[in-house]
A and B are shown apart, each in its own frame.
Chain A
Amino acid sequence: MSMKTPLIGFAIGLAVLAGGAVVAGSHVDKNVEAAVKARKAHMQLYAYNLGILGAMAKEEVPYDAASASAAAGNLAALARMNEGSYWPQGSDSLSMEGTRALPDIWDNIDDVLVKAKALTDASAAMEAAAGTGLDGLKGAMGAVGGACGACHKAYRQPDS
């Protein structure tokens, strides 16, 4: 239940914003720009917390159960957040500068939600594993990376 609600909210948010964008016209308005900023900030928070876990996985810093758990908890919380308002219609890479979000996102909402669910699951598994030891943390890393990568592969414009 708690898993499903944000996803439904995400879908409703997209639908509502799609309607709004049609009314607002094709120019990029402030709300759209703010939404793009917000999702980039969200991604940055994923990266920051993954950095703490990754440094331990790479054995660049000693394993610490408390900070691993804290970072993994943040990661899982981020994945559970409702991102619906981050993705308004017209905020794709063809409609505006400064984003690599492909228009395919809005044409494949069902698949996007499946991929979002994969990240929720993988980060929940990381949350459960991170405090149990370095091997647990390392073992959970691959699924998180796979979930991030699956969406990026399908829906992000390659680096130019």
Chain B
Amino acid sequence: MRCGMVRLLGLIILGTAGVFWLITRPVSLPDDALAGLTGRTDQGERVFLAAGCGSCHMAPDATGAARLVLAGGQRFPSDFGTFVAPNISPHPEAGIGAWSDPEIANAVLRGVSPEGAHYFPAFPYTAYQRMEMQDMADLIAYLRTLPESDAPSAPHEVGFPFSVRRLVGGWKWLFAAPDWVLQDPADAEIARGRYLVEALAHCGECHTPRGPLGELARDAWLTGAPVPGKDRGRVPGIDPASLDWSEGDIVEYLTSGFTPEFDTAGGHMVEVIANFAQLPESDRRAVAAYLKALP
């Protein structure tokens, strides 16, 4: 009788461990995900700008040509600790120069490192997972053209238990839904805007409030949120209920940074606008059309 209890308990523990193992294991892309695709650097630049890679991965306060040196070092405070952006320049040791194309794609689209560990979702792969594979191939080709930096990446300053990377697998399983927030876009422009906002530009990462575990509240999509790691300040809501700007106002804001009152963007949005200003106007118009199409 006692023997049976022990066995049952053992089974429960084993089962729980098995489920934990299954849920938290890193899931990579299929091996042939990039097969047959050729990266184009000119198209890759457009993806790079829309995805805002440089805004987080350039050195702190980089200006001019240094904006393309993805040396890392910017700090991102959060409720779970401070994340430090790593060096993703093509340097073979300090950066990602020695990584294969599938390894880079796994990092960006699945949040999995070449060693098979989870990245923390401060890296917005939950948005990037919606990226088209051709765009991924183009982005990789472009990243490989950028200047090298030998600056070593600094460790994140994240305390236990959030520092246990395996747990990120559980977080992904719970919260990293790949489906679109806006279903059935009415036309091609709104669909392009959805792709820019929800996938590449990862606008929701700052403009959508988060739950207790840092998950995006998809039912409050783009309705505004506190500034992470700060006591005051708010990232404004940009859904139709929060933002009464015309589409022309939104396009102008993404071009010059001027609000309808001719105040300017502040904070990290300045970097976003520096990127968006370099995209074709059709992309800025698509973002405006998408924001207006939200419920």
The distance in angstroms between the C-alpha atoms of A47 and B232, with both chains bound, is: 25
The distance in angstroms between the C-alpha atoms of A51 and B252, with both chains bound, is: 12
Interface pair B262/A54, CB less than 8 Å apart: yes
User: A58-B252, A60-B248, A158-B232 are known contacts. Are A149 and B266 too (CB-CB below 8 A)?
Assistant: yes
Residues of chain A within 8 A of B265, CB atoms compared: 149, 152-153
**Contact flags B91-127 to A (C-beta < 8 A → 1, else 0):** 0000000000000000000000000000000000000
**Contact flags B196-210 to A (C-beta < 8 A → 1, else 0):** 000000000000000
Q: Which of A51, A54, A150, A160 has the most CB of B within 10 A?
A: A54
Query: Which of B78-86, B211-219, B253-261 makes up part of the contact surface?
Result: B253-261
Interface pair B258/A145, CB less than 8 Å apart: yes
The reply on A117 being an interface residue by CB < 8 A is no
User: A57-B252, A145-B257, A160-B234 are known contacts. Are A51 and B274 too (CB-CB below 8 A)?
Assistant: no
User: A58-B248, A153-B270 are known contacts. Are A141 and B227 too (CB-CB below 8 A)?
Assistant: no
User: A158-B232, A159-B234 are known contacts. Are A142 and B267 too (CB-CB below 8 A)?
Assistant: no
The reply on B56 being an interface residue by CB < 8 A is no
The reply on B145 being an interface residue by CB < 8 A is no
Interface pair A160/B232, CB less than 8 Å apart: yes
Residues of chain B within 8 A of A152, CB atoms compared: 264-266, 270
Interface pair B257/A148, CB less than 8 Å apart: yes
User: A148-B264, A158-B266, A160-B232 are known contacts. Are A142 and B255 too (CB-CB below 8 A)?
Assistant: yes
The reply on B233 being an interface residue by CB < 8 A is yes
Interface of A is mostly: helix
The reply on B189 being an interface residue by CB < 8 A is no
Number of residues of chain A lying within 8 A (CB) of chain B: 25
Interface residues on B, range: 20 to 34
User: A149-B273, A160-B233, A160-B234 are known contacts. Are A50 and B266 too (CB-CB below 8 A)?
Assistant: no
Residues of chain A within 8 A of B264, CB atoms compared: 145, 148-149, 152
Interface pair A47/B249, CB less than 8 Å apart: no
Residues of chain A within 8 A of B258, CB atoms compared: 50, 54, 141, 145, 148
CB distance from B52 to the nearest CB of A (A): 15
The distance in angstroms between the C-alpha atoms of A149 and B256, with both chains bound, is: 9
The reply on B184 being an interface residue by CB < 8 A is no
The distance in angstroms between the C-alpha atoms of A46 and B267, with both chains bound, is: 20
The reply on A107 being an interface residue by CB < 8 A is no
Interface pair A150/B270, CB less than 8 Å apart: yes
The reply on B263 being an interface residue by CB < 8 A is yes
CB distance from B226 to the nearest CB of A (A): 10
Interface pair A159/B252, CB less than 8 Å apart: no
List of 4 A-B pairs having minimum Cβ-Cβ separation, nearest first: A145-B256, A158-B233, A145-B257, A47-B262
Interface residues of A (CB under 8 A from B): 46-48, 50-51, 54, 57-60, 141-142, 144-146, 148-150, 152-153, 156-160
Taking A159-B234, A160-B233 as known contacts, 18 extra A-B pairs with beta carbons closer than 8 A to each other, sorted by chain A number, are A48-B262, A51-B262, A58-B251, A141-B252, A141-B255, A141-B258, A144-B256, A145-B258, A146-B257, A148-B264, A149-B270, A156-B266, A157-B232, A158-B227, A158-B230, A158-B233, A158-B266, A159-B233
